[in-house]
DNA sequence: ACACAATTTGAGTATACACTCCAAGTTTGG
DNA sequence: CCAAACTTGGAGTGTATACTCAAATTGTGT
């Protein structure tokens, strides 16, 4: 039998509760109890719809990233500048979420590598998009060099973002643009 | 009155227990109980000598980093290449510790920013050393540009290290050297 | 209105954790 | 040898966590 409307709505309420908690108060405040209280749901309902707390968090973070995607339909027309700008925008518009993104990638013990694997896949897709955009902008670039260059640029952006997560007075956009200039 | 010998030895045993736990099994395995068991000490003794678990971890990580410092006496003779090489060496020789380093910087909730502040201070000292080395290698570099360039390089190294923490098959040394070439 | 699947409930489980307290013991300098 | 300072044992505190389960209820297609 198909899903019930009420279940779909509950799921949406839980996602929204998780999203707002992460955005307002960060990872530490986003406990199962807090999510359930805000969504007006009991924990049993939560686990009827989600595999784990991590599951809900990952979905929320992914949605946040997609919301600032310059090319959500993957038409393959975005430039490196577009992609860098989107990256900067994510940190600018959703700072709390960005910190969650960085933390979640490292969270969980070494055995429970579910979250890490997902983040790695996401990173690899991003590397491909950067590499594609780089090759569109420079047709003499080999695919291998494009991939390496994309890893370098994304690495630099991630590192500067990490720096900013440590100290929010750090001028992330300025340094990110400089890094992009030098690494493309 | 001065400290007692027995206390100094206990402290050393706790540090060593913390170090080996972090290096062998990572952050998650390094609970207070595990530290005390391995150091053959009860928790009361631990808290007589350390303010918190975090305190012990930070001391261990700092010692690890200093162990691969190319210029431990700060004579101001190290080159950028030396510093980059030392950074790479740290990740190569102490991979588990390196992951701890990255995680600890983001750990703790937003109120308990003790660890973050310490890591930030350490980062700033490192930026200064990189900037100094850069100016030694290029006398026409202004102090401001040196600082920006140092932030860029360290950001890139941190980001690539983060990438490696996510997936240890990533060739960190290769990318780190490439980044250093382009950003100096 | 019926059957059956989807959903909800909420008390309950397990359990892990960092940290405290203070009496009893030990080391040290004088 | 003494007293003050330091160190230790270890049971105990407090609190928080994610997650489970079986029974009750509700939604849906026919």
The predicted pLDDT at position B97 comes to 87
Contact A130/A150 with Cβ under 8 angstroms? yes
Among the partner-chain residues B105, B151, B163, the one whose CB lies closest to the CB of A155 is B163
Contact B150/B96 with Cβ under 8 angstroms? no
Contact A30/A22 with Cβ under 8 angstroms? yes
Residues 6+ apart with CB under 8 A from B96: B22, B23, B24, B25, B26
E strands, chain A, where? none
What proportion of chain B, given as a percentage, has pLDDT over 70?
Answer: 93
Domains of chain A: 1-53 (1.10.10.60), 68-183 (1.10.357)
Bases on strand C under 7 Å from any protein CB: 5-12, 16-23, 26-29
Residues 6+ apart with CB under 8 A from B11: B49
The pLDDT of residue A172 is above 70: yes
Chain B nearest CA to A140, separation (Å) = 19
Residues 6+ apart with CB under 8 A from A58: A104, A115, A118
Chain B nearest CA to A5, separation (Å) = 37
Q: What is the mean pLDDT of residues B27-50?
A: 96
Query: A46-97: per-residue pLDDT in tens?
Result: 999 999 999 999 899 889 989 989 898 989 899 999 999 999 999 888 888 8
Q: List the one residue out of A162, A165, A151, A160 whose CA is nearest residue A178.
A: A160
The predicted pLDDT at position A109 comes to 52
Query: B132-182: per-residue pLDDT in tens?
Result: 999 999 999 999 999 999 999 999 999 999 898 888 899 999 999 999 999
CA angle B16, B20, B24 (to 5 degrees): 175
- How many angstroms separate the Cα of A184 from the Cα of each of A49, B120, B153, B159, B181? 43, 29, 15, 16, 13
Q: Dihedral sign, CA of A76, A147, B176, A114?
A: positive
A28 touches chain B (CB under 8 A): yes
The pLDDT of residue B131 is above 80: yes
Query: B41-67: per-residue pLDDT in tens?
Result: 999 999 999 999 999 998 998 888 888
Label residue B99 by pLDDT band (50, 70, 90). Answer: confident
Q: List the one residue out of A144, A140, A128, A153 whose CA is nearest residue A71.
A: A128
Query: A104-125: per-residue pLDDT in tens?
Result: 777 655 545 667 777 888 899 9
The predicted pLDDT at position B145 comes to 95
Say if the Cβ atoms of B116 and A166 lie within 8 Å.
yes
A35 touches chain B (CB under 8 A): no
The 3 state secondary structure assigned to chain A is CCCCHHHHHHHHHHHHHHHHHHHHHHHHHCCHHHHHHHHCCCHHHHHHHCCCHHHHHHHHHHHHHHHCCCCCCCCCCCCHHHHHHHHHHHHHHCHHHHHHHHHHHHCCCCCCCHHHHHHHHHHHHHHHHHHHHHHHHCCCCCHHHHHHHHHHHHHHHHHHHHHHHHCCCCCHHHHHHHHHHHHC
The predicted pLDDT at position A121 comes to 87
Distance, CA of B113 to C1' of C14, in Å: 31
Among the partner-chain residues B103, B116, B152, the one whose CB lies closest to the CB of A179 is B152
Q: Dihedral sign, CA of B19, B25, B29, B33?
A: negative
Q: List the one residue out of A137, A125, A12, A18 whose CA is nearest residue A66.
A: A125
């Amino acid at each position: 039998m198909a899903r019930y409307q009420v279940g779909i709505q509950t799921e949406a309420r839980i996602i929204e509760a998780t999203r707002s908690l992460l955005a307002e108060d960060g990872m530490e405040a986003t406990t199962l109890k807090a999510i359930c209280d805000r969504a007006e749901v009991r924990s049993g309902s939560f686990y009827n719809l989600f595999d784990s707390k991590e599951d809900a968090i990952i979905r929320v973070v992914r949605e946040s990233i997609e919301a600032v995607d310059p090319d959500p339909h993957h038409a393959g027309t975005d430039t490196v500048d577009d992609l860098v700008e989107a990256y900067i925008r994510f940190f600018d518009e959703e700072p709390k979420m960005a910190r969650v993104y960085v933390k979640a990638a490292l969270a969980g013990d070494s055995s429970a590598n579910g979250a890490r694997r997902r983040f790695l896949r996401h990173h690899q897709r991003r590397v491909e998009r950067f590499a594609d955009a780089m090759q569109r902008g420079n047709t003499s670039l080999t695919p291998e060099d494009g991939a390496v260059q994309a890893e370098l640029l994304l690495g630099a952006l991630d590192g500067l973002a990490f720096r900013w997560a440590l100290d929010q007075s750090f001028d992330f956009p300025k340094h990110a643009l400089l890094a992009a200039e030098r690494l493309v």
